[in-house]
Amino acid sequence: MSRLAGKTALVTGASRGIGRSVATGFARAGARVFLVGHTDQKALDDVLAELRAAGAEVAGGLFDVGDPVAVRALGTEINLTFGTLDVVVNNAGVITPANFLEITPEQWERTLRVHLNGTFFVMQEMTRRFFVPQGRGKIINVSAQSAIRASTGLADYASAKGGILSLTRNAARELKPLNIQVNAVLPVAGTRMTEALATHRPADAERLRALPPADLVVGTFVFLASDDSDYVSGQIIGADGGATA
């Protein structure tokens, strides 16, 4: 039997990169998947068409996860489409590499709004709407290496990702009595985000452009979404080939 058969999952930031790979991996493992993009309808439609052609049961839409009103609308859409939800993957994010003294207030607010606020709003809404009533649920938040060690050109991004780690641990503690597991993944893979960083840091470009494809991190997400991880919560797991060792 497929590892995620019978489960329904939400994946934000699913149009490209890690989110697309995770959504595809979940569908291949038997899950029904609701994919969320933000502004690029064509990119989202392409993923949905590809998964449907492979026989997956999927749906999706464009939602701004940094807007609590939009997140409530997302919860309603999932309920109307699938009627239930078992797994949330908070992957939506943006990156604009910039030196510390060049980060504007607008960039700072935007980065934290999408990453940290968006993760919080989705966690809270889906937990209230689905996980508490059904007495179970899995939340998988996406953080980054820069959350645990210094980097260059990523002060806003790293701060948001560090906040996600603290949010993950605190939510795991509070939601434990409700049979809701909350974990975070620090994935390392080649995406549009790492390409943006390579452009900003030419000295690191060769290494960044040699990173493996996002498909290699999918197994970690499948494990955390499956029943095999029922005794795992509050953990920060690196899917990085040992890069953060």
Active site residues: 157
Tell me the CA distances in angstroms from 206 to 151, 194, 203, 210, one per residue in order.
Answer: 17, 11, 8, 6
Task: Give the full edge-to-edge strand order of the sheet including 32-37.
Answer: 58-62, 32-37, 8-12, 87-90, 137-142, 180-187, 236-239
Phi/psi of residue 139, nearest 5 degrees: -120, 125
Beta bridge partners of residue 217, listed in sequence order: none
Contact at 8 Å (CB) between 212 and 191?
no
Question: Residue 162 and residue 164: Cα distance in Å, rounded?
Answer: 5
Supply the DSSP symbol for 150. Answer: -
Amino acid at 41: Q
Question: Residue 4 and residue 223: Cα distance in Å, rounded?
Answer: 9
Beta bridge partners of residue 182, listed in sequence order: 139
Tell me the CA distances in angstroms from 176 to 121, 132, 135, 160, 222, one per residue in order.
Answer: 19, 11, 11, 24, 20
